[in-house]
Amino acid sequence: MKAISWCGRRPLLVGCVGTEALLRRCARRVPAHCDLLEARLDLTGLCGGEWLELCAAVQAKGLPVVLTIRNRSEGGAWRKREARRLELYRRGFDIVSAIDIEIAAPSARLLAAAAHRHRVKVISSFHDFAGTPSLNRLLAVVRRGRRLGADVVKIATMVKEPHDLARLFAVPALAKGPICVLGMGEQGDVSRIALPCAGSCLAYGAVGTATAPGQWSCSRLAKELKRWGARMD
């Protein structure tokens, strides 16, 4: 399993995969530009029971996989029992390099501890599709994520006004430890490139169809990060 370092000087580019066809294509040939591949199992489905083999094929080609099964309460497509979701995460521990679990998930702490026992990294995430909370609330989210055992805390909020962006830009400067911050929606477009240049350790791009509002393609994101000195070929 390839180790992930969150603390490099440059952000890691995460390629998001949201369909079964794309995951199968990535298993045959990993996409260019990506440092990590996020397998959105809530969107791809179980791929006829072959999702583990597909993730293993990506890993075997040297591209670490982040397993995400996003609950519908935070914009995902998972609508089945929570116990089933946790079972799928646990099945992935022997294959993937990292998991993403919502901070608000009831089993977030136990899942993070189990992941760490298998040397799997944990991204603890928070999503707000209605707006951007206050800076104090955002920093409280970061602290809660750390208490739950996060290796990286990820915050994604909808940007509607300029002061929403200002709050998001303050988070990397004030938060302790690896942090990923991004703004969603048309008004958050600039954050996709600017925040990785300002301390956000992950930049999320789409391998195919976008999996979040305002998400750039991996190729565009890689090109712009390189142009601004935040990425090398």
Catalytic-residue membership of 226: no
Question: What's the rounded Cα separation, in Å, for the pair 195 and 78?
Answer: 28
Question: What's the rounded Cα separation, in Å, for the pair 44 and 46?
Answer: 7
Catalytic-residue membership of 154: yes
Q: What is the DSSP string of 85-146?
A: HHHHHHHHTTT-SEEEEETT-TTHHHHHHHHHHTT-EEEEEEEESS----HHHHHHHHHHHH
Q: What strands, in cross-sheet order, belong to the sheet with 98-102?
A: 179-184, 152-158, 121-128, 98-102, 65-68, 36-40, 12-17, 202-206, 216-217
Which of 61, 116, 121, 154 is catalytic? The answer is: 154
Question: What's the rounded Cα separation, in Å, for the pair 165 and 155?
Answer: 13
Question: What's the rounded Cα separation, in Å, for the pair 113 and 138?
Answer: 23
- Which residues touch 85 (CB under 8 Å, ≥6 apart)? 69, 71, 78
Which of 127, 160, 163, 226 is catalytic? The answer is: 127
Distance of alpha carbon 152 from its chain centroid, rounded?
9
- Which residues touch 190 (CB under 8 Å, ≥6 apart)? 165, 183
* 68 SS3 class: strand
Amino acid identity at 30? V
Which residues are catalytic, by number?
127, 154
